[in-house]
Amino acid sequence: MSVLSSPLSIDGTRQSGKSVRTQNVTAALAIANIVKSSLGPVGLDKMLVDDIGDVTITNDGATILRLLEVEHPAAKVLVELAQLQDAEVGDGTTSVVILAAELLQNADELVKQNIHPTSIISGYRIACKEACKYISEHLTVPVESLGRDSVVSIARTAIGSKIIGADADFFANMVVDAVQAVRFGDAKAAPSYAINSINVLKAHGKSARESMMLKGYALNCTLASQQMPKKVVNAKIACLDFGLQKTKMKVHVQVLINDPDKLKAIRARELDITKERIGMILSAGVNVVLCSGGVDDLCMKYFVEAGAMAVRRVKKNDLMIIAKATGAAFLTSLTNLDGEESFDASMIGEAAEVVEEHVCDDDLIFIKGPKARTAVSILLRGPTDSYCDEMERSVHDALSVVKRVLESKKVVAGGGCIEAALSIYLENFATSLSSREQLAIAEFAKSMLVIPKTLAINAAQDATELVAKLRAYHNSSQTNCTYGHLKWVGLNLTDGVVRDNKKAGVLEPAISKIKSLKFATEAAITILRIDDMIKLNPEEKSTKTYDDACAAGELDG
């Protein structure tokens, strides 16, 4: 009997079953192994060189994974996971990837023991829910009870694992001052912190300790002309997302003229349109104009005559932040809904003063005392450009962490403390269940230990002994009321011992731990659900040569 080929054959390859799952887990582990050695206060950096030779040296998980060109679809899930953690919390990108990969590896072991993935997934979901609940109820400390020092400690912990870790105290205080300066909101409502109003500028030269915080939003731009005033008090600001240049006819516009005198009139009108536009802006009371395009000599002349300040080629992002801070309208054109050009006083932003100052080797424009929101700038100094870039990433992480803590008002102890506590709690919780999810929850508990283990390995300590001590302390704190204070015990990686990390000031935002647990679990579940992989073959493109085309033309002829 002849076997007919399936009429629904796929133009591609199909893999299904255990081999796909194992392949996905291997890809996820490969990604995690890349960032594993960069975890913790003594983690190492990675050097990434792209196809055009640009070098990036960093230990920020999200940056490393973003710069890698990952082909495997399952590995891409982990790259997106790191970016999500970076966007939501700003820190903990490396640990979330390591945790997700460990959860996957342990789940794969269970699948090999013929436990269905559905049971593992439901077990993981229960474990994640219980873990988040346990952190919220037993392991968090309100920030108010600890004061400003705790917020500085959180910033110090975030910076401790970075390139500027040696100067963690100096930068932690600077970051906390900067975040508290951009607080806004009603006295009754919970305060918000606009950290995008903190402009981080970099200038290589001098040492990292000579970095400084500057009051006002600093722009890395200079005045359009040296004849303009260097300082404007009671500034009335216009934010224009276009250039101020002589009006030109659009491309493909044809004007047919019989009389040469009319050509002069058209040219004069072009100049008048520009003059009217600038006159309209200045007559509304504007004395500082920031625009994202260029300002030509003709327009500059009008501003100099009016004693106004004009700054050209301001980054669009900076322009939007300044518009928000000063209460100005962000204008993409002067045309209103009726098609007429207009500029009125409601579009103007206000600031106490706008001044050009010489800072370090550059001239910077400072917008001080904006009306709607305060703004500050941090100027980072460092020996090389790549060092300054890494400093900027470190400061961004610290700013995000401080913002999260001040808004959520809850912290937890760091140094593997939370993971060890959850591991013990979930192990005991698993034994209280009589369903098949018990095995998955036990594996989840085992996976939690990957963080303290990796921290100890990276610090060149005896990981087995330290993790065993840590588990013993947390077991005592959970089973015996008299040892309740031991729940804050975590690793001291410098001396290779365990200690009370709450007292030592190694603190992290509670929201960072909860989110990373949720994200890691969801990512692991997403990859675990896959049991079939169908890869379609690319369409064959007709590769006709020039000679073929010529031959075809001759035949047609």
Catalytic residue positions, numbered = 60, 93-94, 397
**Spatial distance between the Cα atoms of 371 and 234, rounded to a whole number of angstroms:** 10
Kind and range of the H or E run holding 218:
strand 217-219
DSSP H or E run through 48? strand 46-49
Give the distance, in angstroms, between the CA of residue 99 and the centroid of all CA atoms in the same chain: 20
Joined together, the tokens standing for residue 418 give 């939370």
Region of 447 on the Ramachandran plot (φ > 0 left; ψ -120 to 50 alpha; else beta): alpha
Render 455-480 in DSSP notation, one character per residue. HHHHTTS-HHHHHHHHHHHHHHHHH-
The count of other CB atoms within 10 Å of the CB of residue 143 is 20
What's the rounded Cα separation, in Å, for the pair 350 and 355?
14
Measured between alpha carbons, how far apart are the two ends of the chain, in Å? Answer: 53
Q: Are 386 and 140 in contact (CB under 8 A)?
A: no
User: Any idea what the Cα angle at residue 245 is, between residues 243 and 250, rounded to 5°?
Assistant: 90
Nearest CA-CA partner of 27 in 72, 62, 79:
72
CA angle 397, 402, 407 (to 5 degrees): 130
438-458: string of b/e by CB count within 10 Å (b at 16+)?
bbbbbbbbbbbbbbbbbbbbb
Closest Cα partner for 424 from 140, 157, 95, 139?
Answer: 139
DSSP secondary structure letters along 431-446: HT--STHHHHHHHHHH
Half-sphere exposure of residue 350, counting CA atoms within 13 Å on the CB side?
8
